[in-house]
Amino acid sequence: MKQITSLKNPIIQELVLLHERKHRNVKKKFLIEGEHLISIALLKKRLLAVYVDEKYLDKYANLLKDCNNIEVIVVNSMIIKKISQQKTPQPIIGVCNIVKPLNYFYSSHIILIDTIQDPGNLGNILRSVTAFNISEVYLSNESVDLYNHKVISASQGAIFYTNVYYENFDQFLLKVKNANYMIYGTFLHEDNSTNLSEITFKQKNAFLFGNEGQGINKKYKDKINSNIYWERTDVVNNIQICLKIIKLDENNFDFNMQLYVNLNTWKILVNNNTYFYNSKILIKASLISF
């Protein structure tokens, strides 16, 4: 195994540059932290290199043994702290390649999100859609970066199971329609909206969601086929986008959502699987494990 001891080493300096979106885009690489994410990246053949704190070699011995064709570099805790983006750095950090998805419109259900800004919300959304076996998510070009470290952390590995595309929605929504998808909007306070429970979904469906503060841009109103809503408790004034997306298709998933407020926690029952939502964190009790 190779060893690096200097903070001024050009390899380390290049890794620090990956903290910024523009450098990630140029290098086609991004960073992940912790054994859990590194194990998934290794499984999905996205892992390029591993940097491990010399004090933790024994702890990660089994994981490093599986990194047969992966470069493993031993470093000190100061270097780990330098390249980490977390307040409490993990002692093992991976470098992954950025892969641009090639296939479009291969799924029956796709997600469209206009200008999502909160990285934690995007990470939670990816976890939710992966739980329901949806692997196509389209973001408008103005959205937060998929490889922001907060997105990666919140996704808990779901970024490796989901194809995420950035598109100009002004033109792209027409392509979605031309691919024979029914586009369902989630505009608020629309008189001509249809209750979700009354909709019979088609073979190919696209669900359009807006950002956290402004919702969907009004210029896309004429691009949708139907606007949908679902009833919610009067106690709750605002449903986060990550919770909206989990209640996608009760016809196909036969799901029963129940919301109640108890000490600021929402409990959601989906096919007898329990989700807890608190402070923008969505935790599954079952259904899928990351």
- Distance in angstroms (rounded) separating the CA atoms of residues 215 and 185: 10
Find the mean pLDDT for residues 4-19. Answer: 98
Structural tokens at position 224 = 């949708």
Q: Using one digit for the tens of pLDDT, what is the confidence trace for 183-204?
A: 999 998 788 899 888 988 999 9
Find the mean pLDDT for residues 127-133. Answer: 89
Q: Using one digit for the tens of pLDDT, what is the confidence trace for 85-107?
A: 999 999 999 999 999 998 999 99
Same domain, 144 and 227: yes
CATH number at residue 24: 3.30.1330.30
Q: Is the pLDDT of residue 54 over 90?
A: yes
Model confidence, pTM: 0.81
**Which residue range(s) make up the domain with 225?**
109-253
pLDDT of the residue at 177: 97
Q: Is the pLDDT of residue 282 over 90?
A: no
Which residue, 54, 77, 97, sits at the end of a domain? 97
CATH number at residue 197: 3.40.1280.10
pLDDT of the residue at 245: 57
Which of 118, 149, 159, 122 has its CA nearest to residue 32? 149
Q: Using one digit for the tens of pLDDT, what is the confidence trace for 235-264?
A: 444 444 555 555 444 444 333 333 333 333
Same domain, 116 and 50: no
Q: Which residue has the higher pLDDT, 252 or 146?
A: 146
| Structural domain includes residue 269 | no
| Structural domain includes residue 259 | no
Same domain, 163 and 212: yes
| Structural domain includes residue 177 | yes
Same domain, 224 and 165: yes
Same domain, 146 and 195: yes
pLDDT of the residue at 188: 85
Confidence of residue 14 (pLDDT cuts 50, 70, 90): very high
| DSSP output for 124-185 | HHHHHHHHTT--EEEEETTSPPTT-HHHHHHHTTGGGT-EEEEE-HHHHHHHHHHTTPEEEE
Q: How many domains does the chain have?
A: 2
| Structural domain includes residue 274 | no
With contact defined as beta carbons under 8 Å apart, do 4 and 73 qualify?
yes
| Structural domain includes residue 266 | no
